[in-house]
Amino acid sequence: MPAESIRVGGLVPLTSIDYPGELAAVVFTQGCPWRCVYCHNPSLLPARGDSEMPWSQVLQFLDSRRGLLDAVVFSGGEPTSQPALPQAIEQVRGMGFKIGLHSAGIYPRKLQKLLPLIDWIGLDVKAKKADYSLITRTRDSGEAAWRSAELVLASGVAHQFRITAHPSWLDDSDAQWIRDRLLAMGAESVVIQQGRLHD
């Protein structure tokens, strides 16, 4: 699968918060199969977007940032839904950047193959397994996400698990239960952030 076929819906040229401790650019991939009640990137959900960017343009930008940025983070949407993601990662790594990945753990088997290619992952854990579909509106999403969490921990890749709490979908006690469960599984970094519904 050629890297050029990756679908990019947006680019943030500089951030210090999307890859802890590193100055990064963020590439937002287009498309996500889940429909979370609080998704803040609804324009990135359809498989095709209105403002897609050619991959060549992303590479051109990154070329101009060699030596100025430490890392490139692939975010979304859901980056692991892109068949060309491994090839795109290899190209960006070849330019000298570290690779970060944001994922909701939607495709555990794809994630397992990607983990050796990346330096850091931010993985969303949205709910207890049985409650997942209430948030994602997608059947069996809890199995996928918790399996992905196990794979991240087994891989040894640097990570941060992110839990989004809100009284409407994940109360504080459930958020803390998830954090404690992840820590007991061996997680090194778990953050609970307060969510909000978009307007």
- Binding residues for ligand SF4 (CB under 6 A): 32, 34-36, 39, 41, 45, 76-78, 104
Question: Which residues make beta-bridge pairs with 127?
Answer: none
Q: What contacts 73, CB < 8 A, 6 or more positions away?
A: 15, 18, 19, 24, 25, 26, 27, 99, 100, 101, 102, 122
CB of 96 to ligand SF4, least distance (A): 28
- Asked if 52 contacts 9 with a C-beta cutoff of 8 angstroms, the reply is yes
Query: Closest CB to ligand SF4 among 39 and 153?
Result: 39
Query: Closest CB to ligand SF4 among 34 and 169?
Result: 34
Query: Closest CB to ligand SF4 among 102 and 179?
Result: 102
CB of 67 to ligand SF4, least distance (A): 31
CB of 116 to ligand SF4, least distance (A): 23
CB of 182 to ligand SF4, least distance (A): 18
Query: Closest CB to ligand SF4 among 41 and 176?
Result: 41
CB of 180 to ligand SF4, least distance (A): 23
Round to whole Å and give the CA distance between 86 and 154. Answer: 20
Round to whole Å and give the CA distance between 148 and 54. Answer: 29
Round to whole Å and give the CA distance between 23 and 18. Answer: 8
Query: Closest CB to ligand SF4 among 33 and 65?
Result: 33
- Asked if 86 contacts 113 with a C-beta cutoff of 8 angstroms, the reply is yes
3-state class (DSSP) for residue 50: coil
- Asked if 134 contacts 100 with a C-beta cutoff of 8 angstroms, the reply is no
